[in-house]
Amino acid sequence: MASPLKSILAGLDREAWIRFFAALIALTLAFGAALFSTVTRDSGNVIGTAVLASVALLLAGWVALTTVPYLARRVALARVRDALDYEVTREGLVYMALVLVIGVAALNTGNNLLFIIVSAMLAAIVVSGIASAAMLQRVETEVTLPEHVFAHDGVMGRVNVHNESRWWPAFSVSVVPPKVKAEKVKWVLHQSLFRFPPKAPPEKQWLKIPDLYLSRVVIPATRAEILKEPVYFPYIPQNASANAEVELTFPSRGRFVQDGFGVSTRFPFSFLSKTRRVALKREIVVYPAVDPTDEFFQVLPMITGEFESFVAGRGYDLYRIREYLPEDSARHVDWKATAKTGALKVREFTKEDERKLRIVFDNPAPGEVSPENYEKYVALAASLGWHFSDESTDLSFATDEALQSPDVFGFLRYLALVQPRKGTSLLESLALSDDYNVIFTSRPRGSIPTPLWSCSYFIFFE
C-alpha cells in the first residue's frame, strides 16, 4: 500500500513546481545582483554596475516572460470563473461619508468614543463583505429555456437557484444578466516583412527585413440577449432550491446566445452589491413569427383553391375517361385517348386519399431582394408551413440544406437562421413528384422549368 507521502507526491504537477523554484532562484539571484550593483556604484566601478544591473534585469525579464504566463495558465479555472464583481451602492456611499466625517471628528477631538464608533463601522463593512461572499460561493444557478420559440411571442423560461450550504440559508439573492460591456478597441501586433523599394515587383526588391505592424481591432459591445432583467429570490433555505418563471420575448428570428449569468446580493447591509460570475452558456433558436399577416390572408385562399383542384379526383383506381373541362388539371390528361379521339380526354379516379403538399424555399443570392422583403417572405413561408402542418395534409419541405424534410420544426429552424447566399437555384434540382408545390423564388418567370408550372403555386420575391 502506497504511503500518504507518495500519494501526495504523485498528485503534484512536477513541471509547474520545477518552474516555480527555478523562478524563485532566478529572482533571488536578480535581487542579489541588484544589491551588488548598488555597492559597485558607490565604489565607482561603472562597468561592474552595468553588468550586475543588466544581469538583474535579464533574470527578472526571463521570469516574467517564461514562468509567470505558464503559472497563470495553471490557475484553477473555477476560481477565475467564479470571480466576484463589486459595485458600491448609494447606501454604501452615504455610509462611507458618515465614516469619513466621524473619523475626521475623532482625529480633531481625540475622543476615544468616536474612535470606537469608527472602528465598529469599518468592522461592519468587513463583516458584510465576508458574509455575502461566503453565501454567494455556495449558491448555484440553472436556466431552462423552452424548446420551440417564435419571434414576438412571449414564452416562459425557468430560473432555478440551489443553496448548497448545509449550515445557513441564502438571503436576498438575484440571478442577473452579465454586465454589459461597451465597445472596445484593441491593438494587435502582427508579423510582416519590410520591402524596399516598396512599390517594386517582389523579384526587384533588394531589401527584405522582418517587421512588425499594429492593427486596430474593434471588439463589439456585449449585451444580454436572453435574460435581460434580474430575477429576485428573497430567501432560500439551506440545502434547498427555489425557482421562478420568467417571461421571455424575442424581437426577431435568429440565434440568441448568452455567455454567462451572475448571482448577486446586497446582503446584509447593502453597502456593496456583490456579483459572482457564473460560466453558464445558454443558446436558443427563435423561429420566425407565424402570426397571420395581410400577405398570408392574400395568398392562402389561392393556394388552397389550386391545391384542392390539383388533388381532386386523384386516386389509385381509374374510374373513367371523360371529356376535358376548363377546371381540370393538365396532369390528368390521357394523351393516348386524346390521340385516338382527337379531343382532349382526362382520367378520373375513384378516391381522393392523396393530399401531398411541398413548400419549397429557393433561397436568393445576396442583393437580389431587399432585407425588408426578405424578412417578409421568410415569415410568410413560416406561416404557411405552420398553417398546413395542422391540416390533414402530407406536408414536406424543400430547401438548399435539406432537400426533402417532413419536419415542420426543422423547416422553421432553417428559416430562423437562413440568410441570402450564392449558389445554384434549388429549382434546377427539384425532382417532380405527386406533391403540389408552393415555391418561394426570386428567379425570373421565363427561367423556371416548364414542368413545374402545372403542379406549383409560385410566390416571387419582390
240 and 133, same structural domain? yes
- Note if the bond before 237 is cis, omega within 30 degrees: no
Residue 4 belongs to some domain of the structure: no
Q: Any bridge partners for residue 192, and if so which?
A: 211
Look at residues 357, 346, 355, 359 and name the one whose alpha carbon lies nearest to residue 312: 355
* Strand 254-258, strand 207-219: pairing: unpaired
For residue 139, give its domain range: 82-179+235-287
Q: Domains in the chain: how many in total?
A: 5
- Note if the bond before 268 is cis, omega within 30 degrees: yes
270 and 173, same structural domain? yes
Residue 3 belongs to some domain of the structure: no
Which three cell numbers, joined as nine digits, stand for 234? 428573497
Residue 5 belongs to some domain of the structure: no
∠ Cα 152 226 173 (to 5°)? 130
The pLDDT tens digits for 340-384 are: 888 888 876 644 445 788 888 988 888 888 889 999 999 999 999
450 and 304, same structural domain? yes
Residue 393 belongs to some domain of the structure: yes
Residue 121 belongs to some domain of the structure: yes
Residues of the chain short of pLDDT 70, as ranges, are 1-13, 68-83, 180-185, 187, 213, 218-224, 308-320, 327, 329, 331, 348-354, 391-392, 402-405
148 and 95, same structural domain? yes
Look at residue 237 in the predicted model and tell me its pLDDT. Answer: 92
- Could you tell me if 151 and 252 are in contact, meaning their C-beta atoms sit under 8 angstroms apart? yes
Q: How far apart are CA 31 and CA 57, in angstroms?
A: 10
401 and 272, same structural domain? no
Residue 225 belongs to some domain of the structure: no
Residue 1 belongs to some domain of the structure: no
- Provide the sign of the torsion angle of the four alpha carbons 113, 114, 115, 117, taken in this order: positive
> Per 3-state DSSP, what percentage of the chain is helix, strand, and coil (rounded to 5)?
40, 30, 30
210 and 248, same structural domain? no
Looking at 43-111, list the stretches that DSSP marks H as alpha helix, in order from N- to C-terminal side. Answer: 46-62, 68-73, 77-81, 90-109
280 and 298, same structural domain? no
370 and 322, same structural domain? no
Of the residues 32, 57, 74, which one is the last residue of a structural domain? 74
Look at residue 379 in the predicted model and tell me its pLDDT. Answer: 92
130 and 25, same structural domain? no
The pLDDT tens digits for 162-180 are: 998 888 899 999 998 877 6
Of the residues 272, 287, 302, which one is the last residue of a structural domain? 287
405 and 301, same structural domain? yes
Look at residue 222 in the predicted model and tell me its pLDDT. Answer: 60
Residue 146 belongs to some domain of the structure: yes
Look at residue 334 in the predicted model and tell me its pLDDT. Answer: 81
189 and 70, same structural domain? no
DSSP code, position 59: H
∠ Cα 242 244 247 (to 5°)? 165
104 and 26, same structural domain? no
Report the largest interatomic distance among the alpha carbons of the chain, rounded to a whole angstrom.
127
